[in-house]
Amino acid sequence: MVSITEAADLLGVTPKTLREWEKTGKISATRTEGGHRRYQVAELLGSRTDKAITVAYARVSSHDQKDDLDRQKLVLESYCAAKGYEFEIISDLGSGMNYRKKGLNRLIKLLCSSQIDRLVITHKDRLLRFGSELIFTLCEIYGCEVVIINRSADNSFEEDLAQDVLEIITVFSARLYGSRSHKNKALVAKLNEVAQELK
């Protein structure tokens, strides 16, 4: 059981809206001895707002890939329009290992406030390089359908490992780049050589 403030935060609405929903019978609340409203979380999660939409998410790792980001958006827009979805596109420019991207955080907030009916992505790793399963679990909990447009055959263990190593090298190279230390610059150069050999 949660308070009216907690329930409003969970659904992304105001306490006033919850009181209106209670009056119209959309949700129900029990009262404490002091007369305060308490809500069942399970019931709240089934009470989507009327504004629930489809969200299409696109991401690339660097500024050099902005053309690819535009292509992803075009594919997502075309797909959603062809299906007749009312949709919003959220995009990020940042590493798949960065969990603090502005667009990803907005996506999670919308998802956890039951404002998304459907999440559409071009590939599984567009969400996160590691941890996309966590987002998919949140989608399942909040009743959000996940659509992956390009479902390719599963990679081999070696292919996945090579991709993971490349991503890690890219992230750490970016963090070391710009440092004035000759030692760090040499390390970045070596990491780049290793990355090229893995491609």
Cα(68)–Cα(74) distance, rounded to whole angstroms?
10
> Tokens 């209106």 map to which residue?
20
Cα(195)–Cα(199) distance, rounded to whole angstroms?
7
The neighbouring-strand residues paired with 31 are 37
Residue 61 a catalytic site member: yes
Catalytic residue chosen out of the listed positions 3, 28, 47, 61? 61
Sign of CA dihedral 162, 199, 60, 100: positive
Nearest to 145 by CA among 164, 119, 163, 165: 119
Buried b / exposed e along 120-137 (16+ C-beta atoms within 10 A): bbbebebbbbeebeebbe
| DSSP string computed for 133-163 | HHHHHHHHHTT-EEEES--PPPPPHHHHHHH
Give the catalytic positions in this structure. Answer: 61
